[in-house]
Structure formats: C-alpha cells, structure tokens
C-alpha cells in the first residue's frame, strides 16, 4: 500500500539526496502508486518541463499509465503546437478545456476567477470523468515561495491522493534528466521562460523564484492557479459565479 511521507523538511532532503537517488525515489513512488491504483492513477501534464519529466518517469513504470492536459484559449501558440505533438505521440493523454464564455480582460480584473474557470474546473472534470483516485503532479518544493510546504504524498480531498514524485528535485536536475533522456520540451524554454502558463499572465523572469514571471502585476504574482490549493472532488466545492 502506498504510504504517506512523514512530515519533514523537504528542502533539506532535496539538498541531501543526489540525482540518481532522486530518480530512483521518484520511480519508486510512481510504481507503488500504480500498483495500488492501477487505471485510477493519472498524470496531470501541464506541458511544462516538470510535467514532461513526470510523464516520462510514469511511462518507464508502465506504458499503460494515463494522463490529462488542461488547456485554455489563452495558451501560447508554442504550447498549443507542443500539446498537439504530445497527444499525437500518446493517445492516452486526454485534453480538457472549459467552454465557458468569459470576458477577455478577466485575467486582469479577477485572475483568481479566471484560473478557477479555465484551469480548476476542467481539472475537476478530468478527475471525475477519468475516475481518478490518485493524480500525479510535477510539483517541486524548490520551485517558488508557494510550493515549500507540500509533501510527496497528500490527501487534501478525501478519497483523492495527490502524488508529487519529483518534489525533491532542483531545477537543474529536471534539465539534467531531460538532457540525459532526450525528453522533448516546450520551445518556450529556449526563449528564456522558466515557468509556463497562459500568454497574458506569463513573463520571462530571472532570480531564485522560478514562478516569478507568473501573474506579474497582480496579487497572484509568483503564486498558484488553484489546482493545488482548492478542493477538486465534486462534493467538496461550490463554484463561484461569473458576474
């Protein structure tokens, strides 16, 4: 049975383990989860560097592991083309997208609601339609100020396990894995981006916080879209209305 990691300083452990140990640990976490949940396990693939590493690791565990992508009408063209490439290679990747009509400037006037409609709700739909009991993410505890307190195995929603198998990886180790395994990546990284999102809300930014270029100029700057902070089980949330 998959076990939750005891509460500990994830950042200290991230500095202690070497690259090979982290890869083995990540594979072990995914393997154990897949043995327990089987087809009810799914990888959330954001098409970012961390997600493609997790997807590659998952495929090493089993070619039958499923995944889902949440996209929006604001995604950069490079991301759209990369998504088509990945879905073409892996038909077991399902794409979810909100059909809700929203104001063009909602990302400026209410970025939280914009993310709720375009990202959080389709994620809930994916988890429900795919009957997911364990979803696998590319979260890393060294990625930014909002991601320091996560654990490798979590259960924020009752009956829904969240697995963060590369939580302990540093950014350089993600790129090391990509290079060693020839993993295709979104071409936006070659332009200087370190964290990817919707085009109006993502900028190139330097500094220790990889997510500093997200939602620049808003209260969400460097923060979260909501899929890692809001309830995802259908019986646990009330959707805010678009007024």
Q: pLDDT tens digit string along 134-189?
A: 999 999 988 766 566 788 999 888 899 999 999 999 999 999 999 999 999 999 99
Q: Report yes or no: 149 and 228 within 8 Å, Cβ to Cβ.
A: no
226 pLDDT higher than 70: no
Tokens coding 219: 């209260």
State how far the Cα of 160 lies from the Cα of 155, in Å rounded to an integer: 6
Is 224 inside a domain boundary? no
Q: Is 96 a member of any domain?
A: yes
Question: Is 234 inside a domain boundary?
Answer: no
Residues labelled as active-site residues: 225
Domain membership flag for residue 101: yes
- Tokens (6 digits) for 34: 């897949």
Residue 34 is inside which H or E element, if any? helix 19-37
Percentages helix, strand, coil for the chain (3-state, rounded to 5) are 40, 10, 45
Concatenated DSSP letters of 129-177: HTT-SEEE----TTS-GGGSS--SEEEEETTEEEE-TTTT--HHHHHHH
For residue 161, tell me if it sits in a domain: yes
Residue 60 covered by a domain: yes
Q: Which domain holds residue 30?
A: 10-185
Percent of the chain residues past pLDDT 70, beyond the cut: 83
In a domain, 243, yes or no: no
Contacts of 230 (CB under 8 A, 6+ apart): 116, 120, 237
pLDDT at 241 over 60: no
Mean pLDDT on 90-109: 92
Predicted pLDDT at 148 = 65
**pLDDT mean over 209-235:** 67
- pLDDT at position 7 over 50: no
Predicted confidence at residue 6, as pLDDT, reads 47
pTM for this structure?
Answer: 0.87
Domain total in the chain = 1
Q: Is the pLDDT reported for residue 18 higher than 90?
A: yes
**Chain position carrying tokens 């083309």:** 81
**What are the DSSP E strand ranges found in 19-65?**
41-44
Proportion of the chain above pLDDT 90, given as a percent: 60
Q: Is residue 138 part of a domain?
A: yes
């Amino acid at each position: 049975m998959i076990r939750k990691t005891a509460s500990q300083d994830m950042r200290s452990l991230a500095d202690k383990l070497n690259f090979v140990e982290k890869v083995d640990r990540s594979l072990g976490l995914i393997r154990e989860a897949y043995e327990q949940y089987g087809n009810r396990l799914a990888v959330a693939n954001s098409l970012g560097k961390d997600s493609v590493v997790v997807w590659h690791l998952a495929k090493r565990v089993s070619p039958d592991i499923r995944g889902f992508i949440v996209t929006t009408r604001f995604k950069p063209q490079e991301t759209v083309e990369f998504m088509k490439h990945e879905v073409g290679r892996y038909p077991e990747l399902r794409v979810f997208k909100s059909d809700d009509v929203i104001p063009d400037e909602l990302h400026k006037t209410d970025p939280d609601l914009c993310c709720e409609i375009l990202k959080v709700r389709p994620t809930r739909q994916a988890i429900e339609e795919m009957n997911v009991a364990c979803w696998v993410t590319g979260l890393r505890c060294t990625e930014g100020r909002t991601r320091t307190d996560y654990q490798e195995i979590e259960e924020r929603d009752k009956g829904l396990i969240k697995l963060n198998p590369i939580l302990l990886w540093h950014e350089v180790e993600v790129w090391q894995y990509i290079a060693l395994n020839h993993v295709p990546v979104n071409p936006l990284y070659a332009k200087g981006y370190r964290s990817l999102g919707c085009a109006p809300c993502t900028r190139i930014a330097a500094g220790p916080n990889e997510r500093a270029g997200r939602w620049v100029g808003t209260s969400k700057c460097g923060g979260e879209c909501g899929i890692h902070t809001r309830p995802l089980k259908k019986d646990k949330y009330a959707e805010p209305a678009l007024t």
